[in-house]
Amino acid sequence: MRNKFDEQLVHLNTELIKMGSLCEEAIATTAQALIEGNVELARRLGDIEREIDGKERDIENFCLKLILQQQPVARDLRQISAALKMITDLERIGDQSQDIAELIEYLGGRHIDEIKQIGDMAIATRKMVTESIDAFVNRDEEMAAQVIAHDDIVDEIFIKVKEQLIKMIMGHPEDGEYAMDLLMIAKYFERIGDHAVNVGEWVIFSITGIHKGEREL
């Protein structure tokens, strides 16, 4: 009986990896479309987002079946509960990647050469998503903590982007709308980093039973 349950937990990990990979693809595709000013590529995000949404539903249903049918012990229940929380954040990452893609259409094919740090934010957040999922699968508390700490880098880049965009508006008022669109894009990447942090915190909960200073469960 335990062997079957362990196999189901492996399946859960595999499905989370797939969902995480879709989120990575969403971020990477969005970043490429943004750097190239490629509206057609940005429109592909709709398909990726729908896959992410479908994966969220599948994993949620699978977790609920595990809880109802297997009556897991405390450690296993923490792992399943953490997975349920994580997929909500991963789904939001898909949504925000789609939000960025929609804004790309308003840039009129213009590249972001002036604000290269936005591309840096995309790279950093994609790394955070990848490592947060790896931390869960490998039960690696240290890696999860590194994901959480890495958010400071994303926040620092966001502050620099905001400062550059303010200078752009002051020096070139005609670019005000363009600058505001870029600011929204940077903000969405910053939020993606926040969701990756949430995933990292749930990984730590799944290992330790403690979530953000709460008492052990």
Question: Among 155, 146, 8, 156, which residue's Cα sits nearest to residue 71?
Answer: 8
- What domains can you pick out in the chain, each with its CATH number? 2-208 (1.20.58.220)
Task: Report the number of secondary-structure helices (H) and strands (E) in the chain.
Answer: 7, 0
Give tens-digit pLDDT for 108-129.
777 666 678 898 999 999 999 9
Percent of the chain with pLDDT over 70: 94
DSSP labels, 49-110: HHHHHHHHHHHHHHHHHHHHHH---HHHHHHHHHHHHHHHHHHHHHHHHHHHHHHHGGGTT-
Q: What is the DSSP-derived secondary structure letter of residue 217? A: -
Helix (H) or strand (E) holding 191: helix 176-208
Residue 57 has pLDDT above 70, yes or no: yes
Q: Which residue has the higher pLDDT, 47 or 6?
A: 47
Q: Which residue has the higher pLDDT, 216 or 182?
A: 182
**Residue range 4-23: mean pLDDT, rounded:** 92
| Average pLDDT, rounded, for the chain | 90
Percent of the chain with pLDDT over 90: 66
